[in-house]
Amino acid sequence: MTLTADLSASTSFDLGPARALSCRECRHQIPLAAEFACPQCFGPLEVAYDFGTVTRESIEAGPKSIWRYQQLLPVPSNVREHPNTEPGLTRLIKADRLGAELGIRNLWVKDDTGNPTHSFKDRVVAVALAAARELGFTVLCCPSTGNLANAVAAAASRAGWDSVVLIPSSLEQAKVQMTAVYGGTLLAVDGNYDDVNRLATELAAEHEDWAFVNVNVRPYYAEGSKTLGFEVAEQLGWRLPEQVVIPVASGSQLTKVDKSFTELGALGLVEPTPYKIFGAQATGCSPVSKAFAEGHDVIQPVRPDTIARSLAIGNPADGPYVLDTTRRTGGAVADVSDEEVVAAIRLLARTEGVFAETAGGVTVATTKKLVETGQLDPDAETVLLITGDGLKTLDAVADQVGPTATVPATTKAVRAALADRA
């Protein structure tokens, strides 16, 4: 994978170290622009860079947010002069108690619930907003399975932009309200995510000042996921972990964490030690896991039916690249039932004090399964990406957890309830 830009591609935009857009299929390059499909083969475009000298010291001296990696992102030099959210630098915790339950000796949890709207989507949206401003857009938009809607609406209001957000009408109430509260236009569509995504693609073609973060500025947006990998490496003391487990919706995050590790190695910021990348899906929406198991290179789209709605993309754009990445690094993709997801949410909360949304349950439950099937090495240092907050998917656990007892306001009743606990 060569990431070096062909410097003959010229541009009038200041997007930091970004130099061109490069086709992920045929490697054709075009100048930086609001494009997402290759003019030659219609393959997806990604950002190609010419990185200057980047040192650990310059990163460590930066702000306590994703902007400390500004020199590695497609954002303008003056990015911090404009209001934006300040996601990132979320905690990486040693998860010994969860590790003991899963049989993994050296386990870490990257807790991305600590972002401004409580999911990793704040990272990609902040980068998309910064790039979109430079590219001349004025309205921030997205089709979303929920978390992206929250992040886009919040970032737009922070920046003083209008927003237009499209969601499937079946979304969790918390995600609907957490979008609506920021103002902006929120359209609940009677359809699934794939319907909403198709509508967004059509609207993007009709409104030239609308930046659909994951459609017409997707190459820039996607790069924001690299910051998860950068942070994990920096927080481990500038090392790459041996194994990472990542939830898969469109698959973008998984492929960009791989890209981040490759870039850190190429820039000499870490030893380029080998690592394995694992993908996690819910069985009710597991097209990538299915293709992995069957040894296929193409993804057969599915109609999602799972409580893990943030991962419910039946036709994942980066699915084939997830297969490439997991196979190339020696990882795997697996899937788990909704019952396993709920049990894993409770396990993570009980052992580490981290309350994850359903996507986090997918990651933990899939990790458990991968250990049991022998695909994940229990002796290798492992990082789990917990990408969203359980407060947004309370319904998933609502009928399973509650007060130990409800008692009258008397000492006697409390004592009796405490005695009854066993």
Binding partner of residue 346 among ligand PLP, Zn ion, none, CB under 5 to 8 Å per kind? Answer: none
Give counts: helices (H), strands (E), the chain. Answer: 15, 13
* Coil, helix or strand at residue 77: coil
Residues 337-376 that bind ligand PLP (CB under 6 A): 357, 359
| Residue 28 binds Zn ion (CB under 5 A) | yes
Q: Does 248 engage in binding with ligand PLP (CB under 6 A)? A: yes
From candidates 310, 366, 382, 393, binder to ligand PLP by CB under 6 A: 310
Q: Which does 38 bind (CB under 5 to 8 A by kind): ligand PLP, Zn ion, none?
A: Zn ion
> What does each C-alpha distance from 229 to 55, 172, 254, 259, 308 come to in angstroms?
16, 29, 10, 8, 23
Phi, psi of 394 (to 5 degrees): -55, -30
**DSSP for 12-59?**
S---TTEEEEEETTT--EE-SSS--B-TTT-PBEEEEE------HHHH
Residue 250 as a binder of ligand PLP (CB under 6 A): the answer is yes
Q: For residues 245 and 336, what is the distance between their CA atoms, to the nearest angstrom?
A: 13
Pair 367, 104: CB distance under 8 Å: yes
Q: Is 110 helix (H, G, I), strand (E, B) or coil?
A: strand
What string marks each residue from 8 to 27 as x (binds Zn ion by CB under 5 A) or -?
Answer: ---------------x-xx-
Residue 329 identity (one-letter amino acid): T
Between residues 3 and 236, which has the closer beta carbon with respect to Zn ion? 3
Smallest distance, ligand PLP to C-beta of residue 58, A: 28
List C-alpha distances in Å: 417 to 231, 288, 401, 409, 420: 45, 48, 17, 12, 5
Computed over its alpha carbons, how large is the radius of gyration of the chain? 21
- Report the residue number, 248 or 299, with the smaller CB distance to ligand PLP: 248
Find, among 280, 270, 271, the residue nearest to 244 by Cα.
280
* Contact of 233 with 269, CB cutoff 8 Å: yes
Distance CA 74, CA 355 (A): 32
Rounded to a whole number of angstroms, the minimum distance from the CB of residue 263 to Zn ion is 22
Least CB distance to Zn ion at residue 103 (A)? 44
In terms of CB distance, is 16 or 360 closer to ligand PLP? 360
Task: Write the binding mask 136 to 175 for ligand PLP: x where contact by CB under 6 A, - elsewhere.
Answer: -----------x----------------------------
The 251-280 site mask, x for binding ligand PLP (CB under 6 A), equals: xxx---------------------------
Q: Which of 171, 249, 282, 383 binds ligand PLP (CB under 6 A)?
A: 249
Please name the residue ranges forming H helices in 94-146: 96-102, 121-135
Q: Does position 387 bind ligand PLP by CB under 6 A? A: yes
The distance of closest approach from Cβ of residue 38 to Zn ion in the complex, given in angstroms and rounded to an integer, is: 3
Q: Are 386 and 110 in contact (CB under 8 A)?
A: yes
Q: List the interface residues with Zn ion, window 34-63 (CB under 5 A).
A: 38, 40-41, 43
Helix (H, G, I), strand (E, B) or coil at 300: coil
For ligand PLP, the nearest residue by Cβ is 388
359 binds, among Zn ion, ligand PLP, none (CB under 5 to 8 A by kind): ligand PLP
Please give the residue ranges that form the binding site for ligand PLP (CB under 6 A): 119-121, 147, 247-253, 310-311, 357, 359, 387-388
